[in-house]
Amino acid sequence: MAVVVGTRPEIIKMAPVIGEVDALLGRGSALVIDTGQHFDESMSGQFWRELGLPAPEVKLDAGGMTRAGCLGYLTAELGRVFASFAPSVVLVQGDTNTTAAGALAANAEGIPLVHVEAGLRSYDRAMPEEHNRVITDHLADLCCAATPHNHTNLALEGIPNSRVLLTGNTIVEAVQSQLPSTDDQLAYLGSYGMRPDAYVLATIHRPENTDEPRTLRGIIEALVGLADRMPVLFPMHPRTRQAAKEAKCEDLLSRMSVVDPVGSRAFLSLAAHAAVLISDSGGVAEEVTVLKRPLVVVRCSTERAESMEAGFSHLVAPHQIASTVAGILSGHQELLARLAKTPCPYGNGTAAAQIARATSQLIELRKD
């Protein structure tokens, strides 16, 4: 079998699946392919090491391309890799260009496809990720849906139940396995000069927030406004750093703690103790439901309604950040107590094991 990953969230969410495949079928049973879509050390290299993953057997070079360029290059390259290694099945995760190209290449080579984290829909056709999800779900032989809502989305598009498995999201076990001990969590906070419950943790990287200088400036101004009340720690995605430079926001950034993207353990520790998180990340919207922390989601739409419905996250426009954070902080202790008791809507930490089992069954079926 082959596992195709290329970006930070795919590495984080597929690490538990690779671990379960190793446990079930023997170490090294999966051919791990890194498309290089994220190539920066802070966005890729540090995660391979930290998550204890074997070095990828195949490494492609899809970094810094246009979407069409990336899809074309990866579909052709992955097609060549699949033709030469002939994997029994291909696993892809999420909604990136890597995901869609992996799906197209597997389909072109006639290899069964498993889509991990299937059935997410924002119904926002302006998002490239939405198209990547739809393409991949419809090509997949097995759609691993994280929630009943995701399963319903697939059914509404005519994907039969026989091609869907409700597994939960592997982010749950990723958090469970990567979250350090309490002492180590607090040591991470200390190393960034933060105290529990007394800082804001922010990540912003989506094109809808970074591509338009006025939008990005509005978000950064809102964060700076919060920094008057408590420290704002902002591990900054390389794309956002470049966009902030182009939007001439450097002076504003100097009023927050802006750092390079941090490793998984550091990020989860910081997230576990933040008074509030502000983010446009899909993975973070899931992680807060495990860590039981409040999140302000700065986006036009979301495909993670479960995190909102359970009361963990709040979808807002940039101009609503300040008032939403003020509302969260005004009843903070009561809110934290309520979230602590709210079940995680993304499963119970067995998704990766279920996906590994179902994949090996798919391989067996193909042998018959």
Subset of residues 176 to 205 that bind ligand UDP, contact rule: CB under 6 A: 203, 205
Q: Which is nearer to ligand UDP, 178 or 360 (CB)?
A: 178
Subset of residues 30 to 59 that bind ligand UDP, contact rule: CB under 6 A: none
Q: How many residues bind ligand UDP (CB under 6 A)?
A: 15
Buried b (16+ CB within 10 A) or exposed e, 189-202: beebebeeeebbbb
Q: Which two structure tokens, joined as six digits, stand for 252?
A: 């504003």
Q: Which stretch binds ligand UDP (CB under 6 A): 5-13, 241-249, 306-314, 339-347?
A: 5-13
Burial (Cβ within 10 Å: 0-12, 13-18, ≥19) of residue 5: buried
Q: Which is nearer to ligand UDP, 15 or 111 (CB)?
A: 15
Q: Which is nearer to ligand UDP, 3 or 111 (CB)?
A: 3
Q: Is the dihedral of CA 112, 114, 119, 120 positive or negative?
A: negative
- Which H or E run includes 66? none
Q: Which is nearer to ligand UDP, 24 or 317 (CB)?
A: 317
Identity of the residue numbered 356: A
State in angstroms the smallest separation of the CB of 264 from ligand UDP: 5
Q: Which is nearer to ligand UDP, 7 or 324 (CB)?
A: 7
- Is 6 near ligand UDP (CB under 6 A)? no
Taking CB under 6 A as the criterion, the residue among 6, 9, 168, 318 binding ligand UDP is 9
State in angstroms the smallest separation of the CB of 259 from ligand UDP: 8
Taking CB under 6 A as the criterion, the residue among 36, 282, 347, 349 binding ligand UDP is 282
Subset of residues 288 to 317 that bind ligand UDP, contact rule: CB under 6 A: none
- Is 235 near ligand UDP (CB under 6 A)? yes
- Is 19 near ligand UDP (CB under 6 A)? no
State in angstroms the smallest separation of the CB of 205 from ligand UDP: 6
Measured distance CA(110)–CA(107) in Å, rounded: 5
Pinpoint the alpha helices (H) of the chain.
Answer: 8-25, 46-50, 67-85, 97-108, 128-139, 148-156, 171-178, 182-191, 207-210, 213-227, 238-246, 250-253, 264-273, 282-291, 305-309, 321-330, 332-341, 351-367
Q: How many residues does the chain have?
A: 368
Interaction pattern, residues 252-281, with ligand UDP; x per rule: CB under 6 A: ---------xx-x--x-------------x
Taking CB under 6 A as the criterion, the residue among 2, 4, 12, 298 binding ligand UDP is 12
Buried b (16+ CB within 10 A) or exposed e, 151-163: bebbeeeebeeee
Taking CB under 6 A as the criterion, the residue among 4, 104, 284, 297 binding ligand UDP is 284
- Is 210 near ligand UDP (CB under 6 A)? no
Q: Which stretch binds ligand UDP (CB under 6 A): 7-15, 56-64, 74-82, 161-169?
A: 7-15
Q: Which two structure tokens, joined as six digits, stand for 43?
A: 């966005």
Buried b (16+ CB within 10 A) or exposed e, 305-335: bbbbebebbbbbebeebbebbeebbeeeeeb
List, in order, residues 6 or more apart from 33 with CB less than 8 Å away. 2, 3, 4, 5, 56, 57, 58, 59, 60, 78, 81
State in angstroms the smallest separation of the CB of 351 from ligand UDP: 14
Residues that bind ligand UDP (CB under 6 A): 8-9, 12, 203, 205, 235, 261-262, 264, 267, 281-284, 287
